[in-house]
Structure formats: structure tokens, C-alpha cells
Structure 1
Amino acid sequence: MPSKSKIKAQIDAFLIEVGDLSYFTARFFREVFKRPFELKELLNQCYNVGNKSLLLVGITGFIIGLVLTLQTRPTLIEFGAISWMPSMVSISIVREIGPILTALVCAGRIGSGIGAEIGSMKVTEQIDAMEVSGTNPFKYLVVTRVLSVTLMLPLLVIIGDAIALFGSFLVEHVKGNVSFVLFFNQVFDALEFGDIMPATIKTFFFGLAIGLVGCYKGYYCKKGTEGVGKAANSAVVFASLLLFIIDFIAVFVTDIFFDL
């Protein structure tokens, strides 16, 4: 068993990490409204985050739709409720499964990429060179990447949800001979404002968390190639944990708000 001193050291290290990340987040919100605005770099990062993640998100969403429908269909048939399949799948995917799984995929692909990229720049002293040349590295590297992930993740989630629903339709069309129009009429009839809006809003916070954690881990990366690897790995782990916490808070707040 680990000693009490070791447990205390781990708790202290975790609390210090949370405090440093909080300070890093506050610095981001201070810098984001200051000039100059790096629009060209922001657009470049939006392309890197959005376009280069689209294939992975699409494949993930398609498989989610197929698996969820195939796994649920026998149970609904047993209870004679197979006609509820489009409604059940649409609410499940749009409310929870689509946003959280897409965010986790992006945490692995985007969070680790940002952590490794900025970490390698830190190790090779490129960030120090930017400061010497008069460029604000925090503004150029951190603000643009965090904003790009925050803006692109909701779009990726919407695309992933649409592809997941299409995958579900294919299963229903093959096994139940359900038409495209009938399936998606039931999908849109089942969805309400309380399903779509909270799920969309929380994806902005998912993107913000992924971008901040990835940039933080890379920006304060330790020297050496080992430090770059640790920055990329810890960015994924910490961002994934943060996603579940944000998701719980979002669901809790939404439940209270719509019960009033």
C-alpha cells in the first residue's frame, strides 16, 4: 500500500495542476480579447481541427449508429416496440452518445496533437525565440488553437450525429424495410428543443476543455523528447476526465432547468 506521505504528495500535485490550469484558463480569457487578432492562424487551425478530424468522426458516428441499432433491435422486438426504434436512437445519439463519444475521439486526436506540437516547440526553444522576436506566443499558439477547437467541435458533433442516424437508418432499412422518409420523420418528431439545445451548448465547453488542456500540457512541457510524449499522453487523459465532469454538470443543470 502507498504510504500516507506518497498519497499526500499525489493530492498536492493534483491540486497544483488544477490551480495552474485555472491560471492558464484565466490568462486565455484575458488574451482572447486583446489585439492583434491572429485571424489567419485561427482559420488555419480551424482547418486542421475540423477537416482533418472529419473522417475519423464520420467513421465513429457511422459505427455508433450501426451498433446501437443492432444491439437494441432484438430487445425492442421482444417487447413489440420496434416502431420506437427511430425515436429511441435519435434521442440517445443527440442527447448523449454523439456528443460525448465525438468529444472523446477528438480529445485523443486533437488534444494529443496540440500537446505534442506545442511541447516540441517548447523543447526546441521555438517559443522562446518567438518571445525574443516580439511575437506573443501565447496569443499565436494557444488562443488560436483553443478557439479553433471550441468552434469546430460542435460542427463535428452535428456531422457525427447525422452520420450515426444514417447508419441506424441503414440497419432499419435492411432488416425492417423502413423508408428514408418514414425513419427521419419519426426522428425529427421525437426530438425537441430540450434535446438539441443543451446537447449543442455543452459541445462548446467540451471543445474549450480539450483545447485548454492540450495547450496547457504542451506549453509547460518539460525538457526532452520524453517530456513531449508525456505532454501528449497526459493531455488525452486529463481532457477525457474533464469531459466526463463537464458532461455530468451539463446533464445535472439541464435536468434542473427543464424541470422548473
Structure 2
Amino acid sequence: MLAAKKDRGEAPGGGDTPAGPRHVAIIMDGNGRWAERKGVSRLEGHRAGVEAARRAVRAARDCGVTIVTLYSFSTENWSRPDWEVRHLLGLLRRFFREDLMELAGEGVRVRILGDHESLPPDLKKLVEEAEDSTAGNTAFTLQIAFNYGGRDEIVRAAASLARKAAAGGDAKVTEEALAAELDTAGVPDPDLVIRTSGEQRISNFLLWQAAYSEFIFLDLLWPDFGKRELEEAIAEFHRRERRYGGRKAKAASAP
């Protein structure tokens, strides 16, 4: 079920909101409940979730979206059982080994949001290599939030500004200065945030960037998400009126 319609409008800085959404962010929730309903292990649920992520990225590109951000592992997920954490880390390693080359060949830029420093050394190296090897690609941007938390991201950004000020840099704190220190620096904020599983909260995801995003909450579990669900969410986005603290303006005209 789509969430109730909300009103938004003119983009910050003036001007009409561009036809979109250009950037879609997704909270991929429900792998465990999907597995329980199917009578299979949680590991099978996570594997089915990875397949849904692949479908979502392909569908987004077909729908004209140019940036997708997927929330795959939060800073709070380390509290899960060790066996489950090991499996989730293994899925990310598998992504780098099996999907990255294909994505790179298709002009996809890969960015991994979150705290890289506390990742296992081999995974940290894979993350850095993935970002470096695809940095010049411009056809599509795939951001994967892994070991990510919105509050942690803002704290790290503020700490970076403080270090620069202590080293003699500009001590003035502005929205632009802080945004430039975020993991998403240089990438437009999400137009649309989708969450599956029926939960209606953002769970520490893109707290800064989603200030004026449209939100859609879906009752289905993440492994069941596909192109039809994305198309329906985008259609709902086009029907909404967006506000950025100003006058009402149509979010986008349906194609």
C-alpha cells in the first residue's frame, strides 16, 4: 500500500522541480520475515534480497532514474548474530567479485556510503578498489549504504570540518560546507525514498539528504519488490505536489 499523499513544492534556490525522480533511495526491509513466511532460513532471505536489489537497479535504469541508493547494512546491524553478520559481509564481497565488472562495463559508478575504516581490512580494500575503478563512469550511479548510519555520517562530517578548522582552514560552518563532507558529497539528494515491509520510519537513513524527499511505504517484503512496484511508486511520485518551504508546485508531470 502506498503511503498517504503529501504536499511539497519549489526546490531550494528557486526554479521548478525537474521531472523525476532522478535519485531514488530504498530501505530494503523484510528479508527475515520473507524467509520466515516461506519456511526457509534467514540466509535464503538475504540471498533473495540481493536478487531483488539487482532487479531494482535494472528497473530503475529502465525507468530513467540515474541514481539509486540502497540501504543494505546499518551501523546498528553489527548487533545481529555473528553468523548473520558474516553472511551479510560475504554477500557484499560476492557483489564486488561477481557484479562489479558487469556494472563497470555498463558505465555505472559505484559508491559505498558509511564508515569504511571499521570494515574488515579485505573488505575495506575491495570498497576502495570498487570506488576508484568506477569513479569516471557517468551513465548511472549506484550507492550502497553499508556500515552506514545517518547520525554517524553527520558526526563524521562535523568532525572533518573541525579538523580542517583546527588546521587553519575556514572555520565557518554552513549547510554547503557540511554537505561537502557527507558520504554523498557531489550527489543530488534523493527525490524519492521507498521503504518496504510495511514499516513507516526511516531508521537512521540519509537523515540530512532526505529533508525534502517524498516517502512511499510499501506493505510488501523486500524480496518481492520488482519493476512493477518501482513503476507504481514513481507514478505516485508524479501525482504529488511538492513543497520546499515555498509555494505549491507540481512535482513532475506524468510522462
TM-score of the aligned structures, taking structure 1 as reference length = 0.21
Q: Look at both structures and tell me which one has the larger radius of gyration over its CA atoms.
A: 1
Hey, which of these two has a bigger chunk of helix by percent?
1
TM-score of the aligned structures, taking structure 2 as reference length = 0.21
Hey, which of these two has a bigger chunk of strand by percent?
2
